[in-house]
Amino acid sequence: MILSVGRTSVMMIALVILAVLVGVAAYFAITKSYPPQTMTTQSTYTTQSSPITGTTSTETLVTTPPQTVTTSYPPVVLKVLTRHPGDILQVAKKMFLSSDIAKKYNIVDVQFISVPPGLWVQTAKAQSVDVGWGGGPTLFDTLYQEKLLAPLSSPTLLQAIMDIPDTVAGAPLKRTGPDGNIYWVAAALSSFGFTVNTALAQQYGLPPLKSWRDLASPEVGKILLKAQEPPIGIADPLASTSNTRMYEIILQAYGWDEGWRILTLMGANSFIYSGSSDVRDAVIKGERIAGITIDYYGYTAHYLNPACVYVLPENETIVNGDPIALLSTSKNPVQAQAFIEWVLTDGQKVWLDPNINRIPVNPKVFDTPEGKAREDLKKSFEELFYARGIEFSDELALSYEVMMQYYFKATIIDTQQLLLSAWTKLLSAYYGGKITQEKFNELVGIMTRPIEFTDPETGQKVVWSQDVAIKLNTLYLSGKTTILDGLMKEWRAGAEERYRAVIQALG
């Protein structure tokens, strides 16, 4: 009996040893396939002051000792659909891949996919994209309507989102669905305005420029006469998406007809560059008094030349959040949300880079050493919350965008030499006392009047209007691109005719 029990015990011990050996072998097989990640973590909570209410919430500073975290996540390459330029993506990728969160989730690379907004839906579906990042609220609302956004559900991500303000200048910074879930959240703030070289402006005795209309004014034109050089810088809309957006803002802020009058006179006061970065650089170097720029170009200009100041035209522009979201096509939702969490926390430091200079959306970044070194961006961040903008319709802008770009090119860029001749002659007559204010206004009306041309579909004469532009834009996008050559020819001829009419009227 005792011998029988002993044999049984031996057999049981052998089975236990065998099970342990099998478990150890399985563990090493797993860790060989997915090496454990070692990560040093340190959590810090700081005191922060609200940019809106001015209240201060005091939290205890807690520092956790270094920890070694072992994870069995397989290696992942995230696919991120984006509208951000290469300089931002390069900095973000380098910072993220060296971050603790990338190591924790074994994210070994980030593949950025840059395509026009119109291709986002099909690209997301075709390539199983994980994250959408940058491109504006309208684009992300389109993805939401197409059911291409998944609700954000990571507890740590949702905690990070609580640090993001709900609105800026009346514009939402989060999109919450009827189910109560958050589908996109702003990762940065954006605005559109112009940058002024104040030293050069003071040299010419120019009053402060505050509105788009100021850039098209005869007062700025007077400097054109003195310097024999256009004092303003703008860019070809066919080469600059940011300048295209600002022209669309002007059209909606002032109305179609008045907007085109301002755009034409702005073109008369301007040197037209092939890209928006050239406009910024010209203002920095003192070649132009002012240039229209997206906000971060203005902040970069100020950083490189403190005499340069970014101006946000009050009640004449838009301020919004630039979103980030988890796509429903993602095969890696856990890792994708980890990336989004990083963008909203440590990744906010990307915007502080002196070569990027965008406005972060998370105020806590200004409590970091990097943030404390950028008081200029902190001030701009706080000012945006009190800015007043217009109700801008992206759908309306897109409905005429292509035709707007080509009409601008035909009537302002291609014919600019004649436009400049008419404008300088008109200014000389006005400031020389040869014509009255009434006559000046009459000739400005002729120089900026809407052009009459032939509708390529009906053969009837039409006058350039918003409705006509929308109709032609729809026709062009339907595949009838051959209409463009004839339209451009007529628009150029019409522009030349109105400029010559002004020159002839002045003798």
pLDDT above 90 (res 134): yes
- Across 18-35, average pLDDT: 40
* 32 and 97 share one domain: no
Whether the CB-CB separation of 248 and 404 falls below 8 Å is answered with yes
* 121 and 185 share one domain: yes
Per-residue confidence band for 195, with pLDDT thresholds at 50, 70 and 90: very high
pLDDT above 60 (res 84): yes
266 found inside a domain: no
**Bigger pLDDT: 142 or 469?**
469
Q: Give per-residue pLDDT as tens, 435-465.
A: 999 999 999 999 999 999 999 999 999 999 9
- Across 390-402, average pLDDT: 90
pLDDT above 50 (res 52): no
pLDDT above 90 (res 334): yes
Q: Which of 87, 43, 45 is nearest to 351 (CA)?
A: 87
pLDDT above 80 (res 122): yes
Cα separation, 324 vs 317, in Å, equals 23
Structural domain ending residue among the three candidates 384, 414, 429: 384
Per-residue confidence band for 70, with pLDDT thresholds at 50, 70 and 90: low
Cα separation, 312 vs 387, in Å, equals 8
pLDDT above 60 (res 56): no
- Across 415-429, average pLDDT: 98
* 93 and 179 share one domain: yes
- pLDDT score recorded for residue 62: 35
Whether the CB-CB separation of 454 and 460 falls below 8 Å is answered with yes
274 found inside a domain: no
- pLDDT score recorded for residue 68: 54
* 113 and 55 share one domain: no
What is the rounded average pLDDT for all residues in the chain?
Answer: 88
Structural domain ending residue among the three candidates 337, 357, 384: 384
* 467 and 424 share one domain: yes
47 found inside a domain: yes
Per-residue confidence band for 154, with pLDDT thresholds at 50, 70 and 90: very high
Cα separation, 360 vs 378, in Å, equals 9
Residue 185's CATH number: 3.40.190.10
- Across 16-35, average pLDDT: 40
- 455-484 in b/e form (b: 16+ CB < 10 A) is ebeeeeebebebebbbbbbebbeeeeeeeb
205 found inside a domain: no
* 344 and 454 share one domain: no
Whether the CB-CB separation of 47 and 59 falls below 8 Å is answered with yes
Cα separation, 250 vs 243, in Å, equals 11
What total of structural domains would you count in the chain? 3
pLDDT above 90 (res 414): yes
In the block, tokens 């950083």 appear at 303
Cα separation, 136 vs 55, in Å, equals 30
* 186 and 323 share one domain: yes
475 found inside a domain: yes
Structural domain ending residue among the three candidates 72, 98, 130: 72
Cα separation, 415 vs 421, in Å, equals 10
- pLDDT score recorded for residue 257: 98
User: Would you state the structure tokens that stand for residue 315, as one six-digit string?
Assistant: 């009640």
pLDDT above 60 (res 286): yes
Query: Can you give the C-alpha Rg of the chain in angstroms?
Result: 29
Distance of alpha carbon 250 from its chain centroid, rounded? 17
Q: Give per-residue pLDDT as tens, 259-285.
A: 999 999 999 999 999 989 999 999 999
User: Would you state the structure tokens that stand for residue 132, as one six-digit string?
Assistant: 């959408």
In the block, tokens 């986002």 appear at 120
* 83 and 114 share one domain: yes
Residue type, 11: M
Per-residue confidence band for 116, with pLDDT thresholds at 50, 70 and 90: confident
* 144 and 63 share one domain: no
Q: Give per-residue pLDDT as tens, 230-249.
A: 999 999 999 888 899 999 99
* 503 and 397 share one domain: yes
In the block, tokens 């992300």 appear at 140
DSSP label at residue 165: -
- All residues at 6 or more sequence positions from 420 whose CB lies less than 8 Å from its CB, including other chains: 230, 268
* 126 and 105 share one domain: yes
State the DSSP H helix or E strand holding residue 94, giving kind and residue range, or none if neither: helix 86-97
- Across 349-355, average pLDDT: 96
312 found inside a domain: no
List phi, psi (to 5°) of 294: -70, 160
Domain containing 150: what range? 73-190+319-384
**Bigger pLDDT: 435 or 34?**
435
159 found inside a domain: yes
- pLDDT score recorded for residue 72: 73
Work out the percent of the chain whose per-residue pLDDT is above 90: 79
In the block, tokens 């189910």 appear at 179
Strand 232-235 to strand 270-273: parallel, antiparallel, or no bridges (unpaired)? parallel
* 323 and 183 share one domain: yes
Indicate if the alpha-carbon torsion angle 330, 334, 338, 340 is positive or negative.
positive
- DSSP for 376-418 reads HHHHHHHHHTT-------HHHHHHHHHHHHHHHIIIIITTHHH
252 found inside a domain: no
